[in-house]
A and B are shown apart, each in its own frame.
Chain A
Amino acid sequence: MRASLAALAAAALLALPFWLPSPYHLHVVIMAGIFTVLALSLNLLLGYTGQLSLGHAGFFGIGAYTAALLALKAGWPFWLDLPAAAVAAGLAGWGIGRLALKVRGAYFVLVTISFAGVISLVSVNWMELTNGPLGLPNVPAPELFTLSFRTKAAYYYLVLAATALAWLVCHRLVHSRLGRAFLALRENEALAESVGVDPTLTLVLATVVSAALAGVAGALYAHYVRFVSPEVFLFSYTVTMVIMVVAGGKGTLAGPVVGAVLFTVLPEALREAIAWQWQMLAYGVLLVLLVFFLPRGIWPALSGWRR
């Protein structure tokens, strides 16, 4: 029964561009895919190791800028600048991990916020490298030999593949020994240490993978919107990611996916349903209500009902 449901879902996903009513819907789905990768990445830290990273927009932005700069200034193809973006973000993750993970809890939160803040200011002020606030327009669309991924349908499949890959990476990681170490650290660090888990190493690894995934999302964003500016470091991106993970259900693999899809679709749905004056207010109120009624997140509540 479950296998056939999964097969049906997979078929629906693969045929998506054909049954969605308009390119606009496809656009929303593509954005949802990019944010799913982001949410999954944040979930590794937030959900599995229990560390609240509020600087994740920093890794996203580093990925976006790396991809855009390599494509525009060095002429690298998408297939090279995407892994490069992951590496760059991963390196940043390693740096932050080593620095920040000497501290825990509230302090870690603040280091991550500061990191994102500094990177944001660098991107605005280092004109020679990033073109500052003027941004980097005309990032080229990916190409595979003669096939161009400029069209939405093609890009959708790209994002779908990337999302599936990200999910797979998270799945394998979480179910591995390292994943169990994450959980052990989340539940009781002292105890975990006593059974041989090296907290700093484990957490740094988690940060690196998490950052690299966020970098991948950044590269996908850069080649889709095709314009990168310091706004990618906006705190609102981090806030959105946090909302997606926590409201979706942190510490689960499906939670961030649900959260990402819901909170990408929601603002767009509000665009249709409510006059512009009330959209953001409605968003805030809905969020508060959601947390109130489903404090553990949507996915845990849903899977709880099924039992």
Chain B
Amino acid sequence: MDALLQHLVNGLVLGGTYALLGIGLTLIFGLMNLVNFAHGEFYTLGAYTTFAALTLGGSNFFLAVAAAIVVGAAAGALCERLLLAPLRDESIDTTMLVMIGLWIALQNAELLGWGGVAKSIPHPFPTAPLTLGPIGIAPLRLFVVLTAAALIVLSWLLIQRTRLGRAMRATFQDRETAALMGVRIGRIHTATFAFGSALAAAAGALLGPIFLAYPSMGDLASLKAFSVVILGGLGNLAGATAGGILLGIAEELGAGYVSSGYRDAVGFVIIILVLLFRPAGLFARAERIG
């Protein structure tokens, strides 16, 4: 029973970050119809930015995380303007290919710049775990899960309560009508990509200190993000949140009780099952943002 509780707690912490990754991608994939293979690279960018701010800039931890989010948004906006906007009328394959090229270029640039050795990102939290009966959770992980939750709530507020959010939802539901109603589609695309990338960078900034920062860290993150998008339904924020947490817990339980080698298979099998029986995602009532 103790082990089960510990597994659940582990899964929750992991799932919170999967949710962050998934929300960012579901917005991008859902609204822009873009197979964004470079999503993981913004995750990596977030981790390295935090590292740079802490070690080179000498800032404090929380500012560094905030900086990572800002840099993620800026980089996302830049990529969208430079690479995606000119290709907006091209097919999904073409934009996907550009993202693949960006993925390869960014990852190898990071390898060149930072070297292949993993970097440890310093953090101010004590390492001794907080204990709640038989369960242990490190303070850093608690911080991560709380911050992720806060960011998720903020995202939801942005989508549901702001004009920008309304415009994004409108574009997602019916692009032509939205354009007719005066929504600047180009701006919405830039904002969406920047927002999604900022969330990915946040996930990287939060997970970087727990794990380590290294150039290929984004590959697995991308894959998990895609899984979460499917679980939650394209464009569905609440779905991505729930999906992320579900994936984290399922992976933990799968690795703990079935087989550690097949851990990642759990995620894949879930996807296949979901798509067979509920293709719109586990949580979709209707496919829309929000």
Contact = CB atoms under 8 A, between A and B. Distances in A.
Direct contact of A and B (CB under 8 A): yes
B206 to A, nearest CB: 25
B96 A288 contact: no
B223 A113 contact: yes
B174 interface: no
A109 B109 CA distance: 28
B271 A110 contact: yes
A239 B275 contact: no
Given A110-B275, A242-B97, A246-B94, A280 B108 contact: yes
B93 A287 contact: no
Contacts of B223: 113, 117
Chain B contact residues, majority secondary structure = helix
Contacts, number: 126
A143 B262 CA distance: 38
Nearest to A96: B272
Q: Please indicate which of the listed interface residues B101, B108, B112 has the most CB atoms of chain A within 10 Å of its own CB.
A: B101
Given A121-B262, A243-B97, A280 B90 contact: no
B257 interface: no
Interface in B187-231: 219, 223, 226-227, 229-230
Nearest to A288: B101
B103 A118 contact: no
A284 B279 contact: no
A100 B94 CA distance: 23
A12 to B, nearest CB: 30
A292 interface: yes
B265 A291 contact: no
A280 B102 CA distance: 11
Interface residues of B, number: 46
A52 B97 contact: no
A284 B103 contact: yes
B230 to A, nearest CB: 5
B181 to A, nearest CB: 26
A18 interface: no
Contact of B98 (A52, A121, A239, A291): A291
Contacts of A103: 275, 279
A292 B264 contact: no
Given A103-B279, A284-B105, A288-B83, A121 B94 contact: no
Given A243-B100, A285-B105, A288-B102, A46 B268 contact: no
A107 B93 CA distance: 15
Contact of A285 (B92, B96, B101, B219): B101
Contacts of A242: 93, 96-97, 100
A280 B279 contact: no
A180 B262 CA distance: 41
Given A284-B102, A292-B87, A99 B108 contact: no
Contact of B93 (A250, A290, A292): A250
A292 B279 CA distance: 34
Contacts of B107: 280, 284
A279 to B, nearest CB: 8
B201 to A, nearest CB: 20
Contacts of B19: none
B272 A287 contact: no
Contact of A291 (B101, B103, B276): B101
Given A107-B275, A246-B97, A292-B87, A52 B108 contact: no
20 contacts: A106-B230, A110-B230, A110-B271, A110-B275, A125-B259, A125-B262, A243-B97, A246-B94, A250-B93, A278-B112, A280-B107, A281-B104, A284-B101, A284-B105, A284-B106, A284-B107, A287-B101, A288-B102, A291-B94, A292-B83
What 6 A-B pairs are tightest by C-beta distance, nearest first? A284-B105, A284-B104, A287-B101, A288-B101, A114-B268, A281-B108
